[in-house]
């Protein structure tokens, strides 16, 4: 229920649009005054009356209904009280009825949205830098799907480039099958790192040849490359499973190699290509940007060339309504450039490409030992969170059954939530203690609230029906208002491409529920009060579970 919309549409103020009224509606300084207050000062000029008189008029003409139970006028403000009984009835029965679907809608019906995310690089570390794209993209996928969109998740693998020639050369000199199979991606990365520090000119030349062999379709070189790719994918898949992430396509950069020529031809035909120092470029000076490089002087394609081909391919294949690229803000310019090139090519759908940029994640504990050099592997961060979660749970509740499994759920949740809680464009410092705190703004706090709600329901024996005439008190009403806001919250998160909106909502609802829990008895009550409170507890558990699920986080029954 959108009260602001309801009130603003019902009020007819001459010369003022309902949208304008909705924007003016605010929370009164204290909830005794009402739930929404409308300041009338702005209307004085249009209506040629004093704000006090306008507020009086509005109060007198407003007819209360199932949503608004009381209207008062005070010092130029109109205060509206919402019908708490009516709201409680409609929200709680809706949650009971909709269950795991509460908050969903069919807003996106018939529309396809591509979410390109994670996009790891073959044979390179899956490091902490990929955490945000992976969990933000994963959450957007789930949120959009919940809103009825047809979502296609694409992992735009970094599987093309001269580094694969280097890797083959390093493998031939220093590697063998056994070593790579045992060491998985770490062994491959070691070879690559070693090449970069030890390769002489001869090996560099060899690497260039190997890369050329891959491009020319040489069987052995391609077999090796495919093998490295397989090992990388097997490794990252385990992490994706842990993070509850899935993809519908792993079409990476290499997939577009044979799809670039038509795009290059079209650029030529539309007179957009220019030669500059032997290279082919699209001049973007007019738009205040450096040129977009399409072909190097040796004829090789570039990152942007492959992205142009990918965008065209995706439009033809999926006919998307939106195509989201969840990629770090460091690549802002790259996206601006190739979006502009598509626009210059006359692709009207270029406006539907969205760069969902996010900030950097760094570890507070910079000294953390990493297996390989300076990069922090995501796997290590996850393992460490799981271990720490185990220690925290063991200390709090040593006799808990299934501790190992619960620690995993809590640890993974902390990794995801830690990367999602802040508005995505902010740089964040990841702190193990902070993300695993039971008290802070964390998934652990939300999960713990769920476990509490669950235990209340189990203790009650769970036989209650929502009473028809129970008037909620202040704490209960706060929870109800928050529950009612969930569907709109999910829609807002999708509109802003901002999963943190859902994360913050979950913490806020959990806080309101805990306030209620501290101030109101539940199982020691009787009759309607008890039934109502159990219904409220059940609906809160359901809504928190739905919210966390959208972020890829599970809820343990006990903690």
Q: Which residues bind ligand ARG (CB under 6 A)?
A: 116, 119, 121, 156, 158, 307, 325, 327
* Cα-based distances in Å from 404 to 10, 71, 410, 455: 55, 54, 10, 20
Between residues 119 and 169, which has the closer beta carbon with respect to ligand ARG?
Answer: 119
- Of 6, 81, 127, 481, the catalytic one is 127
Question: With respect to ligand ARG, which residue has the nearer C-beta, 317 or 405?
Answer: 317
Query: Residue 328 CB, nearest distance to ligand ARG (Å)?
Result: 7
Q: Would you give the end-to-end CA distance of the chain in angstroms? A: 33
* Closest distance of CB 208 from ligand ARG, Å: 22
Nearer Cβ to ligand ARG (86/161)? 161
3-state SS, residue 114? strand
The least CB distance from residue 158 to ligand ARG, in Å, is 4
Q: Give Dmax (Cα) for the chain.
A: 90
Examine the residue annotation and report whether 124 is marked as an active-site residue of this protein. Answer: yes
Burial 266-277 (b: 16+ CB within 10 A, else e): bbeeeebbeeee
Task: Say which of 4, 81, 84, 130 is annotated catalytic.
Answer: 130
Q: Which is nearest to 558 in space by CA: 410, 395, 385?
A: 410
Q: Which is nearer to ligand ARG, 381 or 407 (CB)?
A: 381
The CA–CA distances, whole Å, from 419 to 199, 251, 263, 425, 432 equal 37, 26, 37, 11, 12
Which of 305/542 has CB closer to ligand ARG?
305
The residues, any chain, with a CB within 8 Å of residue 360's CB and separated by 6 or more, are: 129, 328, 427, 428
Q: How far is CA 552 from CA 229, 244, 253, 449, in A?
A: 26, 5, 27, 17
Give the 3-state secondary structure percentages of the chain, helix then strand then coil, rounded to 5.
Answer: 60, 10, 30
Nearest residue relative to ligand ARG (C-beta): 158
- Residue 131 to residue 142: CA distance in whole angstroms: 17
Query: Closest CB to ligand ARG among 62 and 313?
Result: 313
Sheet of strand 273-276, all strands in order from the earlier edge strand to the far edge = 273-276, 279-282, 292-295
CB of 364 to ligand ARG, least distance (A): 23
What is the DSSP-derived secondary structure letter of residue 127?
Answer: B
CA 128, 132, 137, 139: dihedral to nearest 10 degrees?
Answer: 110
Q: Residue 153 CB, nearest distance to ligand ARG (Å)?
A: 13
- Degrees to nearest 5, angle at CA 476 with 516 and 107: 115
Q: How far is the CB of 245 from ligand ARG (least distance, A)?
A: 16
Minimum Å distance from CB 165 to ligand ARG?
Answer: 18
Q: Is 130 a catalytic residue?
A: yes
- Sign, CA torsion 421/422/424/428: negative
Identity of the residue, 243 or 522, whose beta carbon is nearer to ligand ARG in the bound complex: 243
What sign has the CA pseudo-torsion 190, 196, 198, 201? positive
Say which of 124, 156, 166, 512 is annotated catalytic.
124
User: Looking at the annotation, which residues are catalytic?
Assistant: 124, 127, 130
């Amino acid at each position: 229920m959108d009260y602001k919309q309801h009130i603003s549409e019902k009020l007819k103020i001459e010369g003022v649009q309902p949208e304008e009224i909705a924007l003016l509606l605010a929370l009164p300084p204290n909830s005794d005054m009402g739930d929404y207050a409308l300041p009338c000062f702005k209307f004085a000029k249009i209506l040629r009356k004093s704000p006090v008189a306008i507020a009086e008029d509005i109060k007198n003409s407003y007819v209360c209904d199932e949503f608004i139970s009381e209207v008062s006028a005070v010092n130029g403000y109109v205060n509206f009280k919402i019908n708490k009984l009516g709201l409680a009835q409609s929200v709680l029965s809706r949650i009971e009825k909709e269950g795991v679907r509460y908050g969903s809608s069919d807003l996106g019906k018939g529309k396809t949205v591509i979410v390109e995310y994670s996009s790891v690089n073959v044979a390179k570390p899956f490091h902490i830098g990929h955490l945000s794209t992976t969990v933000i993209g994963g959450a957007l996928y789930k949120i959009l799907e919940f809103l009825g969109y047809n979502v296609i998740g694409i992992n735009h693998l970094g599987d093309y480039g001269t580094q694969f020639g280097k890797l083959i050369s390093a493998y031939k000199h220093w590697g063998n099958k056994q070593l790579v199979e045992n060491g998985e991606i770490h062994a491959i990365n070691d070879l690559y790192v070693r090449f970069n520090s030890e390769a002489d000119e001869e090996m560099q030349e060899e690497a260039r040849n190997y890369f050329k062999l891959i491009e020319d379709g040489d069987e052995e070189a391609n077999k090796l490359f495919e093998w490295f790719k397989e090992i990388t994918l097997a490794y990252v898949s385990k992490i994706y499973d842990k993070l509850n992430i899935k993809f519908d396509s792993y079409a990476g950069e290499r997939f577009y190699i044979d799809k670039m020529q038509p795009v290059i031809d079209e650029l030529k035909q539309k007179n957009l290509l220019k030669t500059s120092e032997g290279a082919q470029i699209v001049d973007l000076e007019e738009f205040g940007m450096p040129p977009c490089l399409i072909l190097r002087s040796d004829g090789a394609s570039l990152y942007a060339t492959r992205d142009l081909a990918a965008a065209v391919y995706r439009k033809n294949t999926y006919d998307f309504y939106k195509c989201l690229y969840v990629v770090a803000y460091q690549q802002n310019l790259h996206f601006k450039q190739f979006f502009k090139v598509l626009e210059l090519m006359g692709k009207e759908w270029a406006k539907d490409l969205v760069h969902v940029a996010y900030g950097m994640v760094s570890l507070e504990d910079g000294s953390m030992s990493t297996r390989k050099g300076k990069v922090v592997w995501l796997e290590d961060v996850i393992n460490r969170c799981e271990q720490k979660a185990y220690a925290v749970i063991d200390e709090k509740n040593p006799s808990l059954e299934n501790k190992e499994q619960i620690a995993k759920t809590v640890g993974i949740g902390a990794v995801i939530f830690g990367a999602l809680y802040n508005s995505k464009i902010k740089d964040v410092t990841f702190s193990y203690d902070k993300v695993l705190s039971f008290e802070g703004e964390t998934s652990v706090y939300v999960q713990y609230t769920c476990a509490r709600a669950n235990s209340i329901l189990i203790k009650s024996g769970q036989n209650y029906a929502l009473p028809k005439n129970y008037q909620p008190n202040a704490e209960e009403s706060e929870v109800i208002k928050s529950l009612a806001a969930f569907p709109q919250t999910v829609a807002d998160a999708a509109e802003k491409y901002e999963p943190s909106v859902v994360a913050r909502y979950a913490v806020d609802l959990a806080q309101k529920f805990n306030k209620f829990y501290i101030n109101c008895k539940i199982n020691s009550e009787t009759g309607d009060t008890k039934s109502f409170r159990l219904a409220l507890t059940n609906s809160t558990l359901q809504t928190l579970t739905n919210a966390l699920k959208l972020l890829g986080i599970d809820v343990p029954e006990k903690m």
